A and B are shown apart, each in its own frame.
Chain A
Amino acid sequence: MAWRLLKIGLSKNYPEPRMFTPPARLAPTYDAVIIGAGGHGLATAYYLARDHGLRNIAVIEKGYIGSGNTGRNTTIIRSNYLTPEGVRFYDRSIQLWRDLGDDLDINLFYSTRGHYTLAHTDATLRTMRWRAEVNKHLGVDSELVDAAAVARALPMMDMSCAGHAPILGALYHAPGAVARHDAVAWGYGRAADQRGVEIHQQTEVLGIETTGGEVSGVRTSRGHIATRCVISAVAGYTPRILDMVGLQSPIYIHPLQAMVSEPLKRWLDPIIVSGSLHVYVSQTARGELVMGASLDPRELHNTRSAIEFATSLSTHMLELFPFLAGVKVNRQWAGLADMTPDFAPVMGLTPVKGFYLDAGWGTWGFKATPVAGKTMAATVASGRNDPLITSFDWWRFERFELTGEKGAASVGH
């Protein structure tokens, strides 16, 4: 291994095949411009190229591939939502996830673990019963399990939570899974690249031009592009992009922080979520515990992560798993979440012709990567919102028809 590394270091040409071909310059015109080379943007590009025959697509990224929330989330995939429209949408995503590694020819470390959402109060149990019934009705594998079943499945957990938040039961969702998030961006990026999509990293969008209410071009830090189709697939910057086309939206930005422990011998198979304790945790293939909490309580456009977060999350982790007291935290970080009033995304057509939105992904975007790409591509190709996303459309707020997914947010926000 060391010799091989040395040889690679000394050779003039990089001997391994690259994942992407970095295009030398921007073309003067594209059929579609996608802002944001995260999972959602790259998946949209891939399905546009694969399923709808579009080739002349540019994905414009201010940083590098997967540098936003695609590389910052806690990689949990589930479909145990509350509303039928949410359950249908995320269930379609899980179906796509299952053979996505084969489709993209990359190891996504997709690992079905089972997912426990713990109930510490009667009120939570009621919502979980509701979620389980909606899920079952739509063919999604979810069930309410009692405290004894939870204790059998998780013998290492303190069922009393240090005596002040006893676990009464849980919503168990067998299809709950984790995947390696970076590989998702790389896999979609490479597959899109192989189909002729250009991925322009280190390229910032400075403005979007419209003529008579229709998109006509994009100004970037590397030159001007003429195009009649722009898809915004950014997170944390959506209001700024919307401002470029003169739109206001309900999206507001709060940071979401997460952290990871040192690697441990494998002891935790399922994914554990506690809304009352503001904890979600899973163990990666490398043995690290990936842990997240609720949103930061105030608007902030900054990915700083603070000691208060690590202390408070660790406290709650120890209530569940007291034996982790000696385990060290390796890293902590933050991402910027596009929050919406109903905890559902904002997708599809907008009042500006040719401007499409894939936004409002708050704290629930990673699991939706395949289905968001698929439905956004179908929407752009047909000019009509895909049937799976009609409840997430731009105009639902002025119709006062919100989707009401807050009850299925992984932790209370």
Chain B
Amino acid sequence: MKLIPCPLNGLRPADEFVYGGEVRHMPDPATSSDAQWARYVFNRSGIAGVKHEWWCHIASGFWFILERDTLTDEVRSSQHVAQWHSTVHV
């Protein structure tokens, strides 16, 4: 079984987690146009690459940010959401 590093629980089997999709920046719904909003709602960066993703450890209900290469399935880093927010300015 593939193991996923969780910042709270350490290395755990992949089937203890759910994948929540890539971390994306939400445009301001009050000011964005319908077209911009549709792009945010539906479009995805479908090309393979290293992406930051939402993951949740189901048993502990803990959401965190996993950095993963979607071509090789290699995990690059795993961090608390707060830690992610402090290093990235979106």
User: Is the pairing of A and B real?
Assistant: yes
CB–CB B38/A400 < 8 A:
yes
CB–CB A299/B70 < 8 A:
yes
CB–CB B18/A297 < 8 A:
yes
Contact with B along A233-266 (1 / 0, CB 8 A): 0000011101100001111110000000000000
A20 close to chain B: CB less than 8 A: no
What residues of chain A lie closer than 8 Å to B22, measured between beta carbons? Answer: 299
CB–CB B34/A398 < 8 A:
yes
Please report the C-alpha to C-alpha distance between residue A299 and residue B35 in the assembled complex, in whole angstroms.
25
Looking across the interface, which residue of chain A has its beta carbon closest to that of B38? A398
CB–CB A252/B44 < 8 A:
yes
What residues of chain B lie closer than 8 Å to A298, measured between beta carbons? Answer: 19, 53
Contact with A along B1-21 (1 / 0, CB 8 A): 110000000000001001101
Distance between A334 CB and nearest chain B CB, rounded to angstroms: 12
Looking across the interface, which residue of chain B has its beta carbon closest to that of A397? B42
> Contact partner of B47 among A243, A302, A306, A397, CB < 8 A?
A243
Contact with A along B46-74 (1 / 0, CB 8 A): 11100101000000000000000011110
A341 close to chain B: CB less than 8 A: yes
Q: How large is the interface on B (under 10, 10 to 19, 20 to 34, 35 or more residues)?
A: 20 to 34
Please report the C-alpha to C-alpha distance between residue A239 and residue B15 in the assembled complex, in whole angstroms.
27
Contacts A302-B71, A302-B72, A308-B1 given; indicate if A239 touches B45 (C-beta within 8 A).
Answer: yes
B39 close to chain A: CB less than 8 A: yes
Please report the C-alpha to C-alpha distance between residue A274 and residue B15 in the assembled complex, in whole angstroms.
21
Q: Can you sample 26 A-B contacts with CB below 8 Å? A: A238-B46, A239-B46, A240-B46, A240-B48, A248-B44, A249-B43, A249-B46, A250-B43, A251-B46, A252-B44, A253-B46, A253-B48, A297-B18, A299-B19, A299-B21, A299-B51, A299-B70, A300-B70, A301-B70, A301-B71, A302-B72, A306-B2, A308-B2, A341-B42, A397-B43, A398-B34
Q: How many A-B residue pairs have CB under 8 A?
A: 60
What residues of chain B lie closer than 8 Å to A398, measured between beta carbons? Answer: 34-35, 38-39
CB–CB B70/A239 < 8 A:
no
Looking across the interface, which residue of chain B has its beta carbon closest to that of A240? B47
Looking across the interface, which residue of chain B has its beta carbon closest to that of A255? B73
What residues of chain A lie closer than 8 Å to B39, measured between beta carbons? Answer: 248, 398
Looking across the interface, which residue of chain B has its beta carbon closest to that of A308? B1
What residues of chain B lie closer than 8 Å to A300, measured between beta carbons? Answer: 70, 73
* Chain A residues numbered 363-413 whose CB sits less than 8 Å from any CB in chain B: 397-398, 400
Distance between A149 CB and nearest chain B CB, rounded to angstroms: 36
Please report the C-alpha to C-alpha distance between residue A306 and residue B42 in the assembled complex, in whole angstroms.
30
7 nearest CB pairs, A to B? A239-B46, A301-B48, A298-B19, A250-B42, A398-B38, A397-B42, A252-B44
